[in-house]
Amino acid sequence: MRDVGVYSIARAMPRMSWHPRNLYNLWQRSVNPRVKNTSVFTTSEKTLFQQRWKSKALVRAYHGDYIPEKIFKKWYVPDGLPNVRPRKGVRGGDEGLLESYAGRKVREDEEYEEDEIKYEMAPVGSLMFSEVERRIDTVVFRGCFAHSIYEARRLVVHGNVLLNGKRHQNANTRLKPGDMITVSQKAIRFLQPPEKLDPTYTDDPNSSLPTPTTAAERLTPFHLPPYASPFLFIPAYLEPNFATCSLIYVRHPTARPGYSEIPSPYDADGEIVRFAWEWYSRRRPRVRSVTRLRRMPEDRTYDPESRDEREKERREQEVVRRKEEARRGGMILTEPPRK
């Protein structure tokens, strides 16, 4: 666990955990007006930077708080981060400041919300956490084989998880569709019997026969932690088999109109997710060299040939985007004279 105060009631930041304090923090962030209103930005006096920073802190507390921010921005923010609210260039000066004073941003947001209802647009902003959901430790937690993401990470690091039948100890691995993981039953805490004396032991010196065990005692014990029921659900992109403590990663999470498959305590198309997207959209990953690609966390869907093609396509799109922004800003870009 990276911080002893992850379940702090004062901060009230939900985590990937079944802990009773985490359930209380989830209630505070969802229902309690005193805490909930601190993340409602429609009537907030905070600056735009403060709103984005607060939203980023809230979503990162739940989605991979154990991943350093530098690594998260470099490797876990998707390359093709979708445009939640397209921005138009304004000639001269800071576009966000000018649009806010002119009232254009408010009108554009209202038009975008009307288009969402009219055309039934999917909440694609939540898909920026799809890379975190592919991690093997996150999949172990989503499959309800661990009571927290920190416990799931411990299971992987200690070698209690098999990936496609082989022992795997790298918790940073991102799975590909069709991968199967198996968790050792002896390592799952709520499947262990309570500590007690051996039932065959007796103090009677005249007794030489073992005490017979009942059929219920021969079954696999199951002791569900208290207050765990709100967290017992399986995402649509996973297919578990609890009889064998195994799970198949069927496909990548997706989104459709009015629904996102990525579990989150926040509205998939709400203000918090949108402001968090706006924070990371300005810090989306740049073109990576071959040397840096060799140091990235293990990704089982990585294909060097297709990656090079995508990098080339992204460079071309970046050039087109910069030319378009320069044209809207009043700059004239011409090709250099050919000699």
CA 72 and chain centroid, separation: 11
Per-residue pLDDT tens digits for 78-123: 876 655 554 544 444 455 555 555 565 556 666 656 665 555 677 8
How many whole angstroms separate alpha carbon 266 and alpha carbon 134? 19
- Please, which pLDDT band fits residue 200 given cuts at 50, 70 and 90? low
CA 275 and chain centroid, separation: 16
Question: Superfamily assignment of 135-196+217-249 in CATH?
Answer: RNA-binding S4 domain (3.10.290.10)
User: How many CA atoms does the CB half-sphere of 175 hold within 13 Å?
Assistant: 27
Per-residue pLDDT tens digits for 169-196: 999 999 999 999 999 999 999 888 876 5
User: How many CA atoms does the CB half-sphere of 139 hold within 13 Å?
Assistant: 36
**pLDDT mean across residues, the chain:** 80
Strand intervals (E) in 202-304: 238-241, 246-249, 255-256, 259-260
Q: How far is CA 34 from CA 60, 94, 275, in A?
A: 21, 34, 21
Residue 170 neighbours by CB under 8 Å, 6+ apart: 136, 156, 298
Strand intervals (E) in the chain: 161-163, 166-167, 180-183, 238-241, 246-249, 255-256, 259-260
* Single pTM value for the model: 0.74
Q: Note the pLDDT of residue 116.
A: 58
Q: Note the pLDDT of residue 161.
A: 96
Which one-letter DSSP state was computed for residue 180? E
Residue 99 neighbours by CB under 8 Å, 6+ apart: 90, 105, 108
Per-residue pLDDT tens digits for 131-142: 999 999 999 999
In this model, does residue 304 exceed pLDDT 80? no
Per-residue pLDDT tens digits for 264-295: 999 888 889 989 988 888 776 665 667 777 77
Per-residue pLDDT tens digits for 223-258: 888 899 999 999 999 999 999 999 999 999 998 888
Q: Are 142 and 253 in contact (CB under 8 A)?
A: no
Nearest to 51 by CA among 270, 219, 245: 270
Q: Note the pLDDT of residue 147.
A: 94
Q: Note the pLDDT of residue 37.
A: 77
In this model, does residue 339 exceed pLDDT 70? no
Q: Would you list the domain boundaries of the chain? A: 40-131+255-314, 135-196+217-249
Q: How far is CA 239 from CA 78, 145, 226, in A?
A: 24, 13, 25
